[in-house]
Amino acid sequence: MGRLEGKSVIITGAGSGIGRAASLLFSKEGAKLIAVDRSDSVKETAGLVSAAGGTVEAVTADAGSEQDVKAFIARAVSKYGQLDAIWANAGISGGLVPIPEQTVEHWQEILRINLIGPFLAIKHAMPHMIKQGHGAIVCTASVAGLKSGASGHPYAASKAGVISLVQTTAYSLSGTGVRINAVCPGLIETGMTRPVFERAKERGTGDKIGQLNPLKRAGQPHEIAAMGLFLASDEASYVNGQAFPVDGGLTASMPYAGKPV
């Protein structure tokens, strides 16, 4: 028996990176998936899951559109009979833009995908899960939502909002049997962070990526997927309203310039 055997799960942002790694891992653990992304690459993810023997349906949709979110949640319930877990993972970075050059439209788009997207997933998954008396909601936040220096301003603000949304929603779900938690990735090698890695390699400093955390390396999507798997599974039955950094230890300390003791 897999850790998600027979469970119906939605994963957004499933076309690449963390979402693709999660889709493959969750399927391996027995989940029946609805894989969602606004990019057609989600079909490739579904193909990989199917080739590995998993049950999956690819849905091309915008995680920040209420109409789309309602539709893919309804699809999961219709296809699989229930909704056991949803991972609101879709997100965009917005790049590094100085404050004087940032526009309202830039902020609105980042907040729409990164913060309103998880809100919509919560809003429309809740009724099904409450009716069942159980369910797990996972949201992708970021270490950038915990401390400064990890991203641009709108991205950091959006992820801080996700953490607050998770904490406040946990209490809104009191007594329902539905849990909600957030994963806070550190520097992970994905399509979103590819420019960081490419610039470092061009400068000849690729070996310094991740040097600020105690593990001295960047993370991989499967390492974030593993935390999401735990939170979505019954193993985390008493874990609720928390935001978990998965960052090689980056947020374990204040800035420190001395030598290790």
Active site residues: 155
Q: Which residue shows structure tokens 């999956």?
A: 56
Task: Determine how many CB atoms are found less than 10 A away from the CB of residue 257.
Answer: 4
Q: Over the chain, what HEC string results? A: CCCCCCCEEEEECCCCHHHHHHHHHHHHCCCEEEEEECCCHHHHHHHHHHHCCCEEEEEECCCCCHHHHHHHHHHHHHHHCCCCEEEECCCCCCCCCCHHHCCHHHHHHHHHHHHHHHHHHHHHHHHHHHHHCCEEEEEECCHHHCCCCCCCHHHHHHHHHHHHHHHHHHHHCCCCCEEEEEEEECCECCCCCHHHHHHHHHHCCHHHCCCCCCCCCCECHHHHHHHHHHHHCHHHCCCCCCEEEECCCHHHCCCCCCCCC
